[in-house]
Chain A
Amino acid sequence: MPTFTMKVFRGGPTGGDFRDYRVEAEDGMVVLDLIHRIQATQAPDLACRWNCKAGKCGSCSAEIDGKPRLMCMTRMDIFEPGATVTVTPIRTFPIIRDLVCDVSYNYVKAKQVPPLRLKPPDADGKYRMMQEDVERAQEFHKCIECFLCQDVCHVIRDHEELKTSFSGPRFFIKAAGLDMHPLDTVDRTQFLRDQAGIGLCNITKCCTEVCPEHIHITDNGIIPMKERMADGFDPIVWLLRKFRGGRKEPA
């Protein structure tokens, strides 16, 4: 069994440093297994979040050798046997302790997204939607809220002053998922422009690259929303839509 040196950030909001832990890895183990081993045998107070250990809950986000990843889905066999593996908290958010960050920013932003408002059901009281139509939105429903996309978004990472006027990729696709719901009636244009700040995104696709669910955040979410915003300001498109009907009401 190879033994790794796990270089783990230990500390809090006022600072900290890296500690090295020598840990043996068994077949198929992931970074989170080694962190648990450190807790059980060397540092019982090492703080980390985790729940499902199967890539479904999005709790164990960290930066592993500088790459934002889920600890539970990062297998040790991707590293050279005996290598040193560095584990730090996701750095965009304030550190509470060790690998645990204060991600409350995301819960504030979640609340601002205008919720769904459905069309009335069919005459028999049922809602009908075709599979092809729900699939577009279903892609965004796969999000496990690991906030890795938020972590790498340079608007959030580098611009503290924009935090009040920018929601980040997680909430762009939340809005996209609602907008692409086949029965939704809410227009989120104003929200996306004024509160979510989608105009600040310059589509570098960093968010898409780190998404553990492989959601096409930029191509299928952000870009169509940006296009729709551009349409919204076009008086001709606006006029055409008015004649054809189907224009959504403001939130």
Chain B
Amino acid sequence: MAKPAYETHEHDVIVIGAGGAGLRAAIEAAAQGVSVGLICKSLLGKAHTVMAEGGIAAALGNVWPEDNWQVHFRDTMRGGKMVNNWRMAQLHAQEAPDRVLELERWGALFDRTKDGLILQRDFGGHRYARLAHVGDRTGLELIRTLQYHAIHQGIDVYMECKIERLLKDGDRVAGAFGYWRNTGQFVLFKAKAVVLATGGIGKAWKITSNSWEYTGDGQSAALWAGADLIDMEFVQFHPTGMVWPPSVRGILVTEGVRGDGGTLKNNKGERFMFNYIPEFFKGETADNEKEADAWYDDKKNRRTPDLLPRDEVARAINSEVKAGRGSPHGGVLLDICTRRPADYIRKRLPSMYHQFKELAGVDITKEPMEVGPTCHYLMGGVRVDADTTQATVQGLFAAGEVAAGLHGSNRLGGNSLSDLVVFGRRAGLHAALYAKNLGGALSVNAAEIESVAQGMLEPFSRGGGENPYAIQADLQETMHALVGIIRTESEMREALRKIETLKDRAGKVHVDGGRIYNPGWHTALDLTSLLMVAECTTRAALERTESRGGHTRDDHPYTDDTWGTVNVVLRLRNGVVQVSREPLPEMPAELKALFQERK
């Protein structure tokens, strides 16, 4: 066979992924004066960040002057059930306000307080109203602001380009290899430093708020390049996704609905969250409706249990539905129409109003919404150094959802957008500094590239008759049924067996048609990484024999303190995923003191 042809581009830094983290990283790297390439799997401005709705968390103190980074830090750690990387949580809480103000300087128009400052809204697990927002389309504002800032910074943008593999020169990263989706031709990027900003893995589950892009590309590429992954067992099921009609099942309903006064009810009309307040949050959560409702206006009251962290609310909804108290289509009811005036709802939640009206025929100012858990976010991912975001492979950096540590076992709403800009900036900065200090020429292994390219073309020529879409659907069913919100050892062992079978089938995928914009081929290529991350999550979930945050074991239903000091670490050695437990970095005394001060 002829050698596969490919074009070559060379940069000091390449950033893979162009959502909030990737854009912010590219902007920062360019500001350091290095040459930057930004690679998007879709068109620029279409990444998953546009889907973020409720807001960006930052202790600006515009609404509650009592708020500060220490409170935000504490909320983040407690939300993550204390297995977060403390240093990441600290940097995040300290730097988020600056990053929000920077977005404002770059043109983001957040909703305002009466004094003309950035308005902040209540969200789950945040002690004070902390989320800067634009109605319920904050992610769109964030990505557009970064996108239109980035295009004037001399960054080379490569759209609809999918990276398949990272390349190394000895121990360090030297570039990446992939293909153009619209031509099917191969492309090599040589780079001194690579920033991964590829997002999550939600496409491995059936009911998900994630788009087709979320196939674990970055986590897999890092693993194949020798980097460690941690916390892969922690998968967040957002409590409120749409449940009806079936075609929209899983589409996100912002937590802002509850932040703005909405409440969850079962089919008996009961506000059931009062029955699910865990011991850990009892001191700060209202145990009666009167206090819960008063909390919205006066923070001297304890907060409503409707705004417990997402893991708690998702499990509660799951239990209500199982107990037969669900809504007609197997969710629960989210009611804002009896609690807030129609004008207020349309103004604060325009996109939810539009989404339910157009897709479900439901007027949320008049009727409750039907909602249920949907796979939403991966807390785990690439293990990084807190300050520099460097992975355990030299020259490889990671930021945003693909990186792990900040959120521990459960992410608070609003902490994702702030994560993107805080650690996106750090990734871009440190990747650029690393690239500047790296002397000498880079070399990549031509034979390795050739073999990757040949492998990518195989589905066209081989005889097997497997359909890539069918394998993806079977994987989604498997993960949903066996590695979902509630997990147990026997089911996860079965999942591993099924994943092995699916891998065999993926090796027999055949695709028809040519290389030009062929979604069947793209789906086939994405299967490799999707199966890899599905296996990683399952193995890590088997290892952690306790329940914590986004990892609930039916056979180990309690949180176990001995598990509160370790990460589950995954690495690939000789093609086999190895699982180990390694100690979490220990929090310094002055930060520990923040948890003793009050309830």
Chain A interface (Cβ < 8 Å from any Cβ of B): 12, 26-30, 33, 39-41, 44-59, 73, 75, 96-98, 100, 102-103, 107, 110-111, 113, 115-116, 118, 126-131, 134, 137-138, 141-145, 174, 178, 181
Contact = CB atoms under 8 A, between A and B. Distances in A.
A12 B513 CA distance: 13
B152 A56 contact: no
B246 A55 contact: no
Interface in B498-538: 511-514, 516-521, 523
B473 interface: yes
B116 A141 contact: no
Interface in B117-167: 117, 119, 134-135, 137, 140-141, 144, 148-149, 151-152, 157, 159
B183 to A, nearest CB: 9
Contacts of A107: 44, 151, 157, 159
A39 B520 contact: yes
B245 A138 contact: no
B141 to A, nearest CB: 6
B6 interface: no
B140 A128 contact: no
Contact of A131 (B47, B111, B511, B519): B111
B233 interface: no
Contacts of A33: 247
B469 A52 contact: no
B45 A28 contact: no
B25 to A, nearest CB: 20
Given A30-B359, A45-B513, A56-B351, A39 B469 contact: yes
B279 interface: no
Across the A-B interface, give the 9 residue pairs with the lowest CB-CB distance, nearest first: A28-B245, A45-B513, A44-B520, A128-B116, A40-B469, A47-B517, A97-B517, A29-B247, A131-B112
Which one of B134, B359, B523 has the greatest number of beta carbons of chain A within 10 Å?
B359
Contacts of B152: 111, 115
A214 to B, nearest CB: 9
Interface of B is mostly: loop
Nearest to B252: A54
Contacts of A128: 115-117
A49 B43 contact: yes
Contacts of A134: 109-112
Contacts of B521: 45
8 contacts: A44-B523, A56-B51, A57-B50, A57-B211, A130-B116, A134-B110, A137-B109, A142-B137
A173 to B, nearest CB: 12
Contacts of A56: 50-51, 137, 140, 351
Given A28-B247, A52-B211, A56-B137, A144 B50 contact: yes
Given A54-B355, A54-B359, A138-B134, A178 B107 contact: yes
A141 B251 contact: no
B595 interface: no
A234 B27 CA distance: 41
Contacts of B251: 53-54
Given A56-B140, A96-B517, A126-B117, A141 B109 contact: yes
B112 A129 contact: yes
Contacts of A52: 48, 50-51, 211
A40 B106 CA distance: 42
A107 B157 CA distance: 10
Nearest to A180: B109
Contacts of A174: 148
B392 interface: no
Contacts, number: 162
Interface string B287-322: 000000000000000000000000000000000000
Given A33-B247, A103-B43, A45 B473 contact: no
Contacts of B513: 44-45
A126 B251 CA distance: 37
Contacts of A103: 43
A182 B513 CA distance: 52
Contacts of A181: 107, 109
A59 B211 CA distance: 12
Interface string B19-62: 00000000000000000000000111111101100000000000
B467 interface: yes
B493 interface: no
A113 B152 CA distance: 10
A89 B141 CA distance: 27
A145 to B, nearest CB: 6
Among A33, A50, A102, A141, the one with the most B-chain Cβ atoms within 10 Å of its Cβ is A141
Contact of A55 (B358, B520, B523): B358
A50 B212 contact: yes
A170 to B, nearest CB: 12
Given A39-B519, A45-B511, A51-B50, 6 more contacts: A26-B246, A29-B247, A45-B513, A51-B47, A129-B112, A141-B140
A4 B550 CA distance: 41
A39 B244 CA distance: 23
A48 B115 CA distance: 46
A52 B43 CA distance: 13
B359 A28 contact: yes
A197 to B, nearest CB: 20
Most buried by A among B109, B148, B512, B516: B109
B469 to A, nearest CB: 4
Nearest to A128: B116
B247 A26 contact: yes
A58 B519 contact: no
Nearest to A45: B513
B270 interface: no
B214 to A, nearest CB: 10
Contacts of B370: none
Contacts of A129: 109, 112, 116
A190 to B, nearest CB: 18
